[in-house]
Structure 1
Amino acid sequence: MPYRPTAKTEARRAAQKQLLLKSALTLVTQHGFQGLTISALAKSANVATGTVYKYFNSKSDLCTAVFKSATEKEVNNVRETAFPNADSEAVSCRQRLVNAITTFTERAVKAKRLAYALIAEPVDPQVDAERLNYRQAYADIYAELIREGIKSKEFPEQSVEVSASALVGVLAETLIAPLGRDQQHPLNEREEQALLSALKQFCLRAITGLPT
């Protein structure tokens, strides 16, 4: 009779995987994906290398799992800001767009090394494919918000898909250099705030067609 894992066994296995993912995310936050290896994770999590391989077949699988877990959290944060509750329409589309952009950019500059790893660090093709998927997930959020703004006459008629994709591109590309700077020469707080303010102004002008 083939072995069938019990609910307790499955729960224990799921808990162990989450602990490994948590340790792996810490490594990426500190060193980027280049610092995440099977052996480094085993040492960090205080387990045998073979234990890690029980959950991840390769470094590529490990990095992909960490990327998906971390990026899904960021996407959810932006979505919750853009559509905070069932009564989202009580807040203007313009303000929710500002809030969504602010959430993305402020979280990025707060966790620079992790943000750079998620947005732009050279990675395995498997991770890069997931990066494209999640860029689309961000675009879908902006598209839904822009479409709502057009319907309510807050935003002018425009190509929703192009505008949404452009927002994702502008935010990501503009942040790459500041996030990837040598940590010995980071932006100071004033420079960070000026950058984030300029980004919000640009995005608002692009979508609303009006000065901010």
Structure 2
Amino acid sequence: MTRANLAVQSRPVRSRSSEKRLQILRAARELVSSVGFREAQMSAVADAAGVALGTLYRHFPSKTVLMVDVVSEVSQREVDVAAGVAMGEGDAADRLSASAWLFASRALRGRRLAHALVAEPVEPEIESARLKYRRKLARVFETIIEQGVRDGTFPPQDIQASAACIVGSIFEGLVGPLASDDLSTDSERRDHAKSIIEFCLRGVSGRMAVPSIVDD
């Protein structure tokens, strides 16, 4: 059999393998959204994905490997959404407000998953993936702040420190407590998120600011 024939035959196998892997990742993500990392057992993931446990382990040799991929996939999606708003129309203050608010509002809608991605106690490998998430999001805000400083919208400042403070405020002030907050109403949580964004905008701009509310 020629190499060309072997290549043709191998493509469907690789495609099926890739589809199976994505199927498992989707199931794991949905499970984490419901119960968090700690309670998302491999057997439950296999059941949710409709695959044998052995098949699951062929694609992901351990729970940690699987959960690192879940963090990478979900966090990149969230960063891309924030970056899309950040690179849109409007001055730097509007774009910073809109991107920060959109990120916060999505966290409010997916409270359990957002908490898992930020605050749930996890293994060092998963924590490393989460730190990459924070850095990527901070770079989105750095880009806007740098543009604002350059065009005079924002005063001169330590751009990296300002972006890190925005991420820290949203993560620690909003996302971290979400999973354990069963007493506040949706409206109260939304008002709390807006207050955090207002605080961040005042810190960057040096003046009072009203968040731009942009929902996806």
Fold match, TM over 0.5?
A: yes
Shift of 1:42: 1.1
Q: Which residue of 1 aligns with 2:47?
A: 43
Q: Distance in 1 between matches of 2:194 and 2:45?
A: 38
Q: Which residue of 2 aligns with 1:137?
A: 136
Equivalent residue in structure 1 for 2:186, among 167, 186, 189: 189
Per-residue CA distance 1:191-212 (angstroms, 9 max, x = gap): 1122022112101100000112
Shift of 1:113: 0.3
The secondary structure found in structure 2 opposite 1:96 is: helix
The secondary structure found in structure 2 opposite 1:54 is: helix
Residues 60 and 126 of structure 1 are in contact (CA less than 8 Å); yes or no, is this contact kept in structure 2?
yes
Matched, 1:71 2:75: yes
Matched, 1:59 2:49: no
Per-residue CA distance 1:50-71 (angstroms, 9 max, x = gap): 0001100101101101111111
Per-residue CA distance 1:77-97 (angstroms, 9 max, x = gap): 11111113xxx4xx1110001
Q: Distance in 2 between matches of 1:122 and 1:64?
A: 14
Per-residue CA distance 1:133-156 (angstroms, 9 max, x = gap): 111001111111100000110000
Q: Distance in 2 between matches of 1:149 and 1:27?
A: 40
Q: Which residue of 2 aligns with 1:110?
A: 109
Cα 1:14–1:186 shift into 2, 3 Å: farther
Matched, 1:22 2:13: no
Q: Distance in 2 between matches of 1:177 and 1:16?
A: 32
Q: Distance in 1 between matches of 2:21 and 2:175?
A: 31
Shift of 1:181: 1.4
Q: Distance in 1 between matches of 2:21 and 2:59?
A: 7
Q: Distance in 2 between matches of 1:174 and 1:137?
A: 19
- Aligned identity (percent) is 32
Q: Distance in 1 between matches of 2:176 and 2:22?
A: 32
Q: Distance in 2 between matches of 1:15 and 1:126?
A: 25
Taking structure 1 as the reference length, the TM-score comes to 0.92
Taking structure 2 as the reference length, the TM-score comes to 0.90
Note the residue ranges of structure 1 that are not aligned, 5 or more in a row: none
Q: Distance in 1 between matches of 2:186 and 2:133?
A: 29
Q: Which residue of 1 aligns with 2:166?
A: 167
Q: Distance in 1 between matches of 2:121 and 2:177?
A: 16
Per-residue CA distance 1:90-136 (angstroms, 9 max, x = gap): x1110001111111110001010000000111111101001111110
The secondary structure found in structure 1 opposite 2:59 is: coil
- Highest relative contact order (Cα 8 Å, sep 6+), 1 or 2? 2
Q: Which residue of 1 aligns with 2:178?
A: 179
Report the AA paired with residue 140 of structure 1. R
Q: Distance in 2 between matches of 1:109 and 1:132?
A: 20
Cα 1:116–1:203 shift into 2, 3 Å: same
